[in-house]
């Protein structure tokens, strides 16, 4: 039996060697500026091969060279077809790389012989959370040798994964799914390891920039988790933890879809009760010290901000298995003071309905939903399940820690593939819940954006409900003709008094970029009274949301700080919590931002001075102020020709009285004097600055990695004398000090 096997193996190897003598025929490599003799229909494929990832798309990987077929041109709602010229089948296999949507007949590549589809292939993805990596595949076409054929690449699908990627189509006598996959290493597929759960956490080794692998976890034959991860085949950059306490004592089956045969990734899986590599947790060189960031992995939009059971709850978009965007979960942290945060782990995981995209949270005080129990009102999360279709769903909790997804999900069905980010609140005058939803609709004018792509019509849909479960469309608002930014993504909607006057309240509708409009709302329809107004004046601040159910009625906002953290096991941050107010100005009511008063809890060493005259060439009154984490406040009356220049940790912040403008880090914004005076507030962190001017009417956040050696502050004036009515500076403590103290105490015990 052994000799027969050996003979068969030798025969196979001889066949491969003989076949290898006949060179491959590269039919299409898609490296040109256009498709050559291929013909196109529709808009999905553009005018020529894509150069990798297209706008709005996850990172495309695994293609050869610089170009590929990518039908994401215009997004997932574009359609089309790409057809090759006729050719003769001259080899036993046609090999290719393919990715994207996995819908037979809709997102596919077909081989046509005698006008019929004789072979077909699709990408791997039908639900959110997949990868844009192309994989090697092959058709056995020996039976059609010598016959004429054509290849068509089809995109007839709209919505999630409504696109197809393809590259490097080759005629070969060797199966290309083996020859092309992960060269030059040999690969193994569906690599499995069984793990008996004995500890709280199961850690996966991560190598930033490695090829993404799809990992599935099953217990008792049922899949419990699925995610993409850049597994480290050897040494890990960091370890991604998965909480496995729910399966204590059970056998967890871990399967990676494909790994090099030499990979040690699954052999490296480690169990522990604490986070691996946590010796330096919250002390890492680029860890924000004043603002929240996740222990591990990627973070983006704040979600579900609410005050419940005596705590501020911050949920957030989280990829626990990678340094970049993907695998969207809802992470969770709580605070008693908006300053010191404790991370609890993820509460919403991707499921068959898709990845867990952004949303909001409310306390259902009257238990209209029926999710409460024993007289305890539920905390209800409203989120987008970004699958196909993309829908709006609910989850709830009565303890603020464990959450159950509603069995009747979805509660709002798909309108278009571009509906997302539900904001929900209780409208007391009408005794109804209101859901505010971004919806991108087809643009009847055929408008295109600055890059020539079809531009959706950005709208906000308003729904109402009496129980959070059953919703009815009440009205639709849009940004008006030609407006390609306002009303785009992550809407927030709330009511504020103007200058504290409760009888003069107005409604504010904000967008992801923090632009906003002010108007009235009757419970069903928002009527704007202003055009689109600019929000923050800096950079790297996006998708902000405000807390519901705050005990003192304040409107407190947190935004996503888009600041990469290279070399760290975490990425991105949440910006400082700010209190929002409406202030009356000569142009009407306008939003103002101020850092919440609770940040004063972080002050350690302070320096203050009243009534100081500043002149050009004078001494630096802040020469004694040094620190990494700083809060600076200055109230001054400038001469009409003066410039007041604060250089904080090497970053120049300049106020020009003649134009009443403030500038910093390449940004410039109007900052009008208030009663002839200017009041500045500045916070510095390791990777960001927050600058407030004109009593908060001007808010300028921006990312900035400061140099550790730059710790000083300089204040100088150019031009006429400036009267500083008040100066103060504070060294600040880290928000993580309490976490570290508690951790040290637990270790000592």
Residues with catalytic roles: 301
Residue 711 in contact with residue 314, Cβ under 8 Å? no
Whole-angstrom Cα distance, residue 453 to residue 606? 53
3-class state of residue 600 by DSSP: helix
Does residue 649 come out as left (phi exceeding 0), alpha (psi in the -120 to 50 range) or beta? left
Give the bridge partners for 260, in sequence order. 187
The 10 Å Cβ neighbour count of residue 169 is 23
CA distances from 524 to 169, 232, 430, 507, 715 (A): 55, 52, 9, 13, 51
Q: Do residues 305 and 212 touch, judged by C-beta distance below 8 A?
A: no
Q: Are 97 and 136 in contact (CB under 8 A)?
A: yes
Could you give the CA distance from residue 386 to residue 395 in angstroms, rounded to a whole number? 15
Report yes or no: 739 and 293 within 8 Å, Cβ to Cβ.
no
> Starting from the edge strand earliest in sequence, which strands make up the sheet with 270-272, in order?
238-243, 201-206, 270-272
Residue 266 CA to residue 264 CA, distance in Å, equals 6
Short-list 468, 489, 231, CA closest to 362: 468
Written as one string, the DSSP assignment of 387-437 is SSS-EEEEEEESSSS--EE-TT--SB--SSTTEEEEEEEEEGGGTEEEEEE
Q: Quick check: bond before 389 cis, omega within 30?
A: yes
Are the beta carbons of 488 and 512 closer than 8 angstroms? Answer: yes
CB atoms within 10 A of CB 273: 9
Minimal CA–CA distance to 324: which of 58, 127, 540, 55? Answer: 58
Q: Are strands 355-363 and 379-386 parallel, antiparallel or unpaired?
A: antiparallel
Query: Are the CB atoms for 297 and 275 separated by under 8 Å?
Result: no
**φ and ψ at residue 266, rounded to 5 degrees:** -75, -30
The token duo for 257 is 């879809």
N-terminal to C-terminal alpha carbon distance within the chain: 64
Cβ 562 vs Cβ 551: under 8 Å: no
Residue 321 β-bridge partners: none
Q: Which two tokens stand for residue 28?
A: 């299409």
Query: Tokens 């010229």 sit at which residue?
Result: 85
82 has which bridge partners?
Answer: 40, 153
| Partner residues linked to 214 by β-bridges | 228
Q: Are 735 and 290 contacting, i.e. CB atoms less than 8 angstroms apart?
A: yes
């Amino acid at each position: 039996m052994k000799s027969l096997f050996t003979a068969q193996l030798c025969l196979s190897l001889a066949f491969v060697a003989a076949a290898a003598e006949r060179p491959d025929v590269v039919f299409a490599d898609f490296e040109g500026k256009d498709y050559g003799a291929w013909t196109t229909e529709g808009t999905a494929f553009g005018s020529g091969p894509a150069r990798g990832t297209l706008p709005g798309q996850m990172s495309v990987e695994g293609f050869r060279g610089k170009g590929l077929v990518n039908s994401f041109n215009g997004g997932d709602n574009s359609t089309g077809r790409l057809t090759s010229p006729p050719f003769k089948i001259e080899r036993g296999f046609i090999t290719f790389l393919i990715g994207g949507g996995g819908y037979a007949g809709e997102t596919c590549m077909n081989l046509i012989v005698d006008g019929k589809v004789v072979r077909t292939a699709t990408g791997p993805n039908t639900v959110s959370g997949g990868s844009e990596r192309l994989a090697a595949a092959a058709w056995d076409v020996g039976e059609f040798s010598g016959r004429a054929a054509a290849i068509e690449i089809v995109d007839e699908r709209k919505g999630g994964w409504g696109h197809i990627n393809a590259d490097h189509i080759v005629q070969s006598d060797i199966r290309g799914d083996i020859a092309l996959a992960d060269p030059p290493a040999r690969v193994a597929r569906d690599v499995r390891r069984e793990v008996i759960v004995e500890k709280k956490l199961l850690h996966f080794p991560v190598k930033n920039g490695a090829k993404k692998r799809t990992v599935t976890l099953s217990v008792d034959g049922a899949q419990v988790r699925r995610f993409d991860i850049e597994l480290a085949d050897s040494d890990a950059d960091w370890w991604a933890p998965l909480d496995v306490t729910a399966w204590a004592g059970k056998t967890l089956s871990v399967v990676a879809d494909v790994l090099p045969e030499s990979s040690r990734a699954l052999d490296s899986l480690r169990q522990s009760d604490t986070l691996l590599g946590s010796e330096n947790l919250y002390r890492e060189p680029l860890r924000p010290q004043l603002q929240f960031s996740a222990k591990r992995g990627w973070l983006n939009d704040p979600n579900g901000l609410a005050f419940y059971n005596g705590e501020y709850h911050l949920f957030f978009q989280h990829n626990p298995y990678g340094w970049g965007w993907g695998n969207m979960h809802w992470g969770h942290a709580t605070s008693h003071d908006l300053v010191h945060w404790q991370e609890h782990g993820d509460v919403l995981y991707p499921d068959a309905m898709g990845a867990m995209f952004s949303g909001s949270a409310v306390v259902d005080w009257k238990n209209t939903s029926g999710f409460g129990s024993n007289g305890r009102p539920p905390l209800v999360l409203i989120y987008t399940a970004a699958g196909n279709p993309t829908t709006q769903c609910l989850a709830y909790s009565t303890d603020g820690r464990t959450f159950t997804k509603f069995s009747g999900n979805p509660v709002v069905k798909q309108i278009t593939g571009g509906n997302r980010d539900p904001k929900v609140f209780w409208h007391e005058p009408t005794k109804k819940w209101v859901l505010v939803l971004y919806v991108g609709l087809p643009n009847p004018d055929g408008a295109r954006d600055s890059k020539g792509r079809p531009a959706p019509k950005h709208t906000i849909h308003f729904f109402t409900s009496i129980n959070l479960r059953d919703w009815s469309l009440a009205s639709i608002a849009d940004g008006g003709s030609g407006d390609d930014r306002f009303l785009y993504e992550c809407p927030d909607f709330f009511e504020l008094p103007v200058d504290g006057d409760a009888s003069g309240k107005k409604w504010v509708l904000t967008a992801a970029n923090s632009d906003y409009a002010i108007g009235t709302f009757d419970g069903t329809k928002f009527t704007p009274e202003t055009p689109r107004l600019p929000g923050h004046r800096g950079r790297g601040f996006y998708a902000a949301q405000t807390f519901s159910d705050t005990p003192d009625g304040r409107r407190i906002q947190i935004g996503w700080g888009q600041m990469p953290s290279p070399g760290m096991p975490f990425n991105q941050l949440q910006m400082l919590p700010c209190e929002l107010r409406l202030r009356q100005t000569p142009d009407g009511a306008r939003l103002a931002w101020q850092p919440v008063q609770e940040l004063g809890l972080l002050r350690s060493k302070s320096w203050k001075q009243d009534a100081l005259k500043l002149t050009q060439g004078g001494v630096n009154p802040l020469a004694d102020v040094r620190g990494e984490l700083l809060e600076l406040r200055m109230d001054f009356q400038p001469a009409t020709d003066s410039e007041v220049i604060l250089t904080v940790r090497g970053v120049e912040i300049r106020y020009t009285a003649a134009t009443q403008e403030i500038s910093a880090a390449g940004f410039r914004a109007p900052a009008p004097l208030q009663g002839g005076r200017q009041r500045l507030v500045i916070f510095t962190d390791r990777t960001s600055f927050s600058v407030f001017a004109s009593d908060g009417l001007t808010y300028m956040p921006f990312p900035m990695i400061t140099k550790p050696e730059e710790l000083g502050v300089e204040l100088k004036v150019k031009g006429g004398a400036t009267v500083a009515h008040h100066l103060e500076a504070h060294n600040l403590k880290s928000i993580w000090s309490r976490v570290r103290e508690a951790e040290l105490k637990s270790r000592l015990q």
